[in-house]
Amino acid sequence: MSSDQSTNPTFNQEKIRALIARGKLKDTLFAALGIICLGIGLVVIFALVADMAIKGFDRLNLDFFTNFASRRATQAGILSAWVGSLLVMLVTALTAVPLGVAAGLYLEEYAKRNWITEIIEINITNLAAVPSIVYGLLALGIFVYTFGFGQSILSAGLTLALLILPIVIVATREAIRAIPAMIREGSMAVGATRWQTCRYHIVPYAMPGILTGVIIGLARAIGETAPIITIGALTFIAFLPPVPFTEIGEGARAGLFDWVMSPFTVMPIQIFNWTSRPDPAFEVNAAAAGFVLMAMVLTMNAVAIWLRYKLRKNIKW
């Protein structure tokens, strides 16, 4: 090599320059490939939203939100679907948030390092990888038939709560882990018990992180279709769940919690129903409803991303 270099330096320099140029070209090409791949993702999101907005534009008016599903495409609306989605989310949030936060608190602040804790941890990791339709089968066997909740808002809400529980637990644990030990030490040094430390320090400080996880979990739950279809939710519902304390005929009044046992439909099921009909008129409805659902999910995700961004910028222990 060295004799080669001394006899013909220019040739070698050119060779090396060419090699470097080729390497740089490959770098640039790969970077371009990376941007193209990212661009495909962006194009898909954009195409989805644009297609649904354009196709469904005519149907996106107030009537669409206040009409029940109908056999005539132009008169069909999503009233029962969005009310159902909202109520199911309410049950899901009320179940998953306390359970998830409590479980996260236990694992981070209370649990001793032993085999029970290890089983719980491995279990949560594995649950996150279980297909959502399997949760539907669990709910069909346990909630619908064993507990006798039927095909109700309660069954659906509990199913989705179990589905997003791992998300809430993991978010809670990560938020708690970011709180430095000195906070706990300071609290306990002035005589607070473990629970008082959790109640007045750990949970409030972890709140933004927990909230981010909860919103992402709920955004996932509101778009879930498979588990809810599996518990056998009806697709054609032209009534709303009973409002508490209103008359439901024959002088009877609805109880405060009657709505949880009511049959229901949700946005994704309504979209599925409309998408799978051969009549193209319903395609327009599916597009409009899909646009509404996308708007809900993207807003929730955007709020979560913004919250996390803000959180990362502000807190410095």
Partner 1 sequence: MNAYAMSASPVPDTHVVSDRLSKNAMRHASERVIEALLFAAAAVSVLTTVGIVYVLVSESIQFFASVSIVDFLTDTQWTPLFDDAHFGIMVLVSGTVVSSAVALAVAIPMGTVIAIYLSEFANPKVRELAKPILELLGGIPTIVFGYFALLIVTPLLQKIFPELPGFSLLSAGLVMGIMIVPYVASLSEDAMRAVPMSLREGSYAMGSTRLHTALHVVVPAAFSGLAASYILGISRAVGETMILAVAAGMQPNLTWNPMEPAATITSYIVQVALGDLPHGSIGYQTIFAAGLTLLLITLIFNILGQWLRRKFRENY
Q: Does residue 37 bind partner 1 (CB under 8 A)? A: yes
Return the number of the residue (97 or 259) whose C-beta is nearest partner 1: 97
Return left, alpha or beta for 316; rule: phi > 0 is left, psi -120 to 50 is alpha, else beta: beta
What residues from 280 to 309 belong to the interface with partner 1 (CB under 8 A)?
283, 286-287, 290, 293-294, 297-298, 301-302, 305
Please tell me the count of residues contacting partner 1 according to CB under 8 A: 87
Binding span for partner 1 by CB under 8 A among 7-15, 76-84, 116-124, 236-244: 116-124
Q: Does residue 60 bind partner 1 (CB under 8 A)? A: no
Q: Which residues pair with 247 in a beta bridge?
A: 253
Return the number of the residue (208 or 223) whose C-beta is nearest partner 1: 223
Binding span for partner 1 by CB under 8 A among 64-72, 75-83, 124-132, 256-264: 124-132
Return the number of the residue (225 or 262) whose C-beta is nearest partner 1: 225
- Strands, E, within 128-227: which ranges? none
Q: Does residue 53 bind partner 1 (CB under 8 A)? A: no
Over 210-245, what HEC string results?
HHHHHHHHHHHHHHCCHHHHHCCCCCCCCCCCCCCC
What residues from 243 to 282 belong to the interface with partner 1 (CB under 8 A)?
268, 271-272, 275-276
Return the number of the residue (83 or 221) whose C-beta is nearest partner 1: 221
Return the number of the residue (79 or 168) whose C-beta is nearest partner 1: 168
By the 8 A CB rule, do 213 and 104 touch?
A: no
Please compute, for residue 82, the number of CA atoms within 13 A of its CA located in the half-sphere on the CB side: 18
Q: How far is the CB of 249 from partner 1 (least distance, A)?
A: 27
Structure-token pair, residue 298: 């993207």
Question: Considering only residues 18, 31, 182, 248, which one is a binding residue for partner 1 as defined by CB under 8 A?
Answer: 31
Q: Does residue 38 bind partner 1 (CB under 8 A)? A: yes
Q: Does residue 230 bind partner 1 (CB under 8 A)? A: yes
Q: How far is the CB of 229 from partner 1 (least distance, A)?
A: 5
Cα separations in angstroms, 96 against 26, 123, 156, 317: 49, 17, 13, 29
What residues from 84 to 103 belong to the interface with partner 1 (CB under 8 A)?
98-100, 102-103
Structure-token pair, residue 272: 């599925």
Amino acid sitting at position 191: G
Binding span for partner 1 by CB under 8 A among 3-11, 70-78, 177-185, 229-237: 229-237
Helix axes 9-56, 281-314, angle to 10 degrees: 120
* Residue positions counted in the chain: 317
Return the number of the residue (43 or 182) whose C-beta is nearest partner 1: 43
Burial letters for 6-33: b for 16+ Cβ neighbours within 10 Å, e otherwise?
Answer: eeeeeeeeeeeeeeeeeeeeeeeeeeee
Q: What are phi and psi of 253, to 5 degrees?
A: -115, 145
Is the four-CA dihedral 8, 11, 17, 22 of positive or negative sign?
negative
Q: How far is the CB of 313 from partner 1 (least distance, A)?
A: 12
Q: How far is the CB of 144 from partner 1 (least distance, A)?
A: 9
What residues from 127 to 146 belong to the interface with partner 1 (CB under 8 A)?
127, 129-138, 140-142, 145
What residues from 179 to 208 belong to the interface with partner 1 (CB under 8 A)?
191, 193-195
